[in-house]
């Protein structure tokens, strides 16, 4: 293993490399041109008996690993949702790795715990969340939503399911829209509710949950002796960033005493913009709320901000205190291992703190506004083009569109063409888009949210899209 002196030399080289990487990131193919197991087959089957110099490991990283990577930090990355990093985030992550601290309890890393409480309160203020919410950093929105569901389950059963398991003949029901994220499906499986008891409520023409259908469904379930457990509304769906009606849904939950969770994994970041605050009207009805700074707030993965109103219920759901973890400060401080599933926790608050301080609220707002205005700019161009159409107007910075030459009306044919177009676009390596299906329409998705995105990148993207559409044979 290298010693400290060699470490210092290597670390400087790494920083030089990282700087060059970011300077030249646009030269890489955004998506690698690679076949399954192409990388694996280049890797040594046997772990090394004797230590190897960092230089040679690094060389192999550049030669074998890097060409097989997708460049998520490239401004030409428009697929899925961004998983943004930023320079202050990288710096903080270096410190986190160096400290290598376990941040499970206050005792095990007091400053990490207190910084986490402090930055989560900042986020609360920045996004306008109710003051009586309590925040904790989870790894992902999937975990946050699972925590919400488990807490709801324990609260409704008076903490009996944790203790005795499910009672025979008891059926709990969970509701979300047909557009909700697949992490909800996963959570109901894990929480023992059962996929069959996840009821997907139809959406209106803008892909928002229909509250009247929700209420009717709940009433029917109650009449049938089923127990409504949780409603999950989405603020910014994954397919098209639709925003469910938070207030109406919240009122229904309140009336029937159902846990109300809001999944704002991606679009929650937009709540730092006063002009988008109206979308969260009714948030005071929520029992829990999640959004991912690791998506659109420039804090590298993983960092999911989970907020809950009833902190006691959360802790009661997860807390287990074995003798070896008992401490004198129990109850006086936050022990975040009791606020979720994992015991061991990384020091994730540090990068968030660096990001918020280095950007400033103003800097973060400027970035988001820029991304949103670039989306509007490119949306106008797509709309104006005879051979393209907008499938659903952009709410934030996700453009949902498709190729639709005037002489083709058959939807299946159009779906096939758009699938072909997407492959052609991505095979250029110049940009990377992804897709979804909206009411049977194969839709191209272009998210303009990468940290270093500039107008020239969206201009280039639009050029590539048009060029590739002209190459389509039909």
The residues of the shown chain that bind ligand PLP, judged by CB under 6 A, are 81, 140-142, 181, 183, 234, 237-238, 263, 265-266, 292, 304
Token pair for 384: 């104006």
User: C-beta of 421: minimal distance to ligand PLP in Å?
Assistant: 24
Running DSSP on this structure, what letter comes out for residue 77?
B
Best CA proximity match to 441, nearest among 233, 242, 244, 207 = 207
Spatial separation of the C-alpha atoms in residues 355 and 298, rounded to whole Å:
7
User: C-beta of 32: minimal distance to ligand PLP in Å?
Assistant: 21
User: C-beta of 222: minimal distance to ligand PLP in Å?
Assistant: 28
- Tell me how far apart the terminal alpha carbons of the chain are, to the nearest angstrom: 59
User: C-beta of 144: minimal distance to ligand PLP in Å?
Assistant: 8
Best CA proximity match to 307, nearest among 353, 262, 345 = 262
User: C-beta of 139: minimal distance to ligand PLP in Å?
Assistant: 7
User: C-beta of 142: minimal distance to ligand PLP in Å?
Assistant: 3
Asked if 261 and 149 touch (Cβ cutoff 8 Å), the reply is yes
Q: Residues 6 or more apart from 198 whose CB is under 8 A from it? A: 174, 175, 176, 184, 185, 188
Q: Which is nearer to ligand PLP, 142 or 468 (CB)?
A: 142
User: C-beta of 292: minimal distance to ligand PLP in Å?
Assistant: 5
Q: Which is nearer to ligand PLP, 239 or 468 (CB)?
A: 239
Best CA proximity match to 271, nearest among 250, 247, 243, 252 = 243
Q: Which is nearer to ligand PLP, 109 or 239 (CB)?
A: 239
Asked if 38 and 393 touch (Cβ cutoff 8 Å), the reply is no
User: C-beta of 237: minimal distance to ligand PLP in Å?
Assistant: 6
Q: Which is nearer to ligand PLP, 234 or 450 (CB)?
A: 234
Best CA proximity match to 331, nearest among 347, 346, 319, 345 = 319
- Could you tell me which residues are beta bridge partners of residue 441? 438
Which H or E run contains 358?
A: helix 349-384
User: C-beta of 302: minimal distance to ligand PLP in Å?
Assistant: 7
Quote the distance between the C-alpha of residue 471 and its chain's center: 34
Q: Which is nearer to ligand PLP, 58 or 80 (CB)?
A: 80
Lateral strand order in the sheet of 198-201? 134-138, 304-308, 288-291, 259-263, 227-234, 172-177, 198-201
Q: Which is nearer to ligand PLP, 157 or 443 (CB)?
A: 443
Q: Which is nearer to ligand PLP, 157 or 183 (CB)?
A: 183
Place of tokens 């950093």: 137
User: C-beta of 234: minimal distance to ligand PLP in Å?
Assistant: 5
Q: Which is nearer to ligand PLP, 140 or 443 (CB)?
A: 140
Running DSSP on this structure, what letter comes out for residue 471?
T
Spatial separation of the C-alpha atoms in residues 201 and 217, rounded to whole Å:
8
Quote the distance between the C-alpha of residue 349 and its chain's center: 17
Spatial separation of the C-alpha atoms in residues 112 and 104, rounded to whole Å:
9
Q: Which is nearer to ligand PLP, 269 or 426 (CB)?
A: 269
Spatial separation of the C-alpha atoms in residues 81 and 457, rounded to whole Å:
16
Asked if 33 and 427 touch (Cβ cutoff 8 Å), the reply is yes
Q: Which is nearer to ligand PLP, 109 or 304 (CB)?
A: 304
């Amino acid at each position: 293993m290298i010693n400290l002196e060699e470490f210092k030399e290597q670390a400087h080289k790494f920083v030089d490399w990282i700087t060059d990487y970011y300077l030249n990131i646009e030269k890489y193919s955004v998506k690698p041109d690679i076949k399954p197991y192409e990388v694996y087959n280049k890797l040594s089957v046997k772990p090394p008996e004797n230590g190897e110099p960092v230089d040679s490991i690094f060389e192999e990283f550049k030669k074998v690993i890097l060409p097989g990577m997708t460049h998520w930090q490239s401004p030409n990355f428009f697929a899925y949702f961004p998983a943004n990093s930023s320079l202050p985030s990288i710096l903080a992550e270096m410190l986190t790795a160096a400290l290598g601290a376990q941040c499970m309890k206050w005792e095990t890393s007091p400053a990490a715990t207190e910084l986490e409480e402090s930055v989560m309160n900042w986020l609360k203020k920045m996004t306008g969340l109710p003051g009586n919410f309590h925040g904790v950093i989870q790894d992902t929105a999937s975990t946050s939503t699972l925590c919400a569901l488990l807490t709801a389950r324990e609260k409704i059963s008076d903490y009996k399911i944790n203790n005795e398991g499910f009672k025979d003949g008891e059926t709990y029901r969970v509701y979300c829209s047909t557009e909700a994220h697949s992490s909800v499906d996963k959570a109901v499986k894990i929480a023992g509710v059962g996929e069959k008891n996840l009821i997907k409520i139809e959406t209106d023409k803008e892909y928002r949950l229909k509250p009247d259908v929700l209420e009717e469904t709940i009433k029917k379930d109650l009449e049938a002796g089923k127990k409504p457990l949780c409603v999950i509304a989405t603020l910014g769906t994954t397919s098209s960033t639709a925003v469910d009606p938070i207030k109406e849904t919240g009122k229904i939950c309140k009336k029937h005493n159902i846990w109300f969770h809001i999944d704002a994994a991606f679009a929650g970041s937009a709540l730092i913009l006063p002009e988008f605050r109206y979308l969260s009207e009714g948030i005071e009805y929520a029992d829990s709320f999640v959004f991912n700074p690791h998506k659109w707030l420039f804090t590298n993965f993983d960092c999911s901000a989970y907020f809950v109103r009833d902190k006691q219920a959360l802790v009661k759901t997860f807390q287990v205190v074995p003798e070896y973890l008992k401490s004198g400060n129990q109850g006086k401080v936050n022990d975040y291992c009791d606020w979720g599933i994992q015991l061991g926790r990384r020091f994730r608050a540090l990068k968030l703190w660096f990001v918020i301080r280095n950007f400033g609220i103003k800097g973060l707002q400027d970035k988001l506004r820029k991304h949103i205005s670039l989306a509007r700019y490119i949306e106008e161009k797509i709309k104006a083009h005879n051979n393209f159409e907008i499938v659903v107007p952009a709410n934030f910075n996700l453009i949902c569109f498709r190729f639709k030459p005037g002489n083709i009306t058959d939807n299946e044919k159009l779906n096939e063409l758009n699938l072909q177009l997407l492959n052609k676009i991505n095979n250029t390596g110049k940009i990377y888009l992804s897709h979804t299906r909206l009411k049977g329409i194969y839709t191209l998705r272009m998210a303009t949210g990468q940290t270093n995105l500039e107008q020239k990148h969206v201009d280039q993207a639009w050029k590539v899209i048009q060029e590739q559409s002209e190459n389509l044979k039909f």
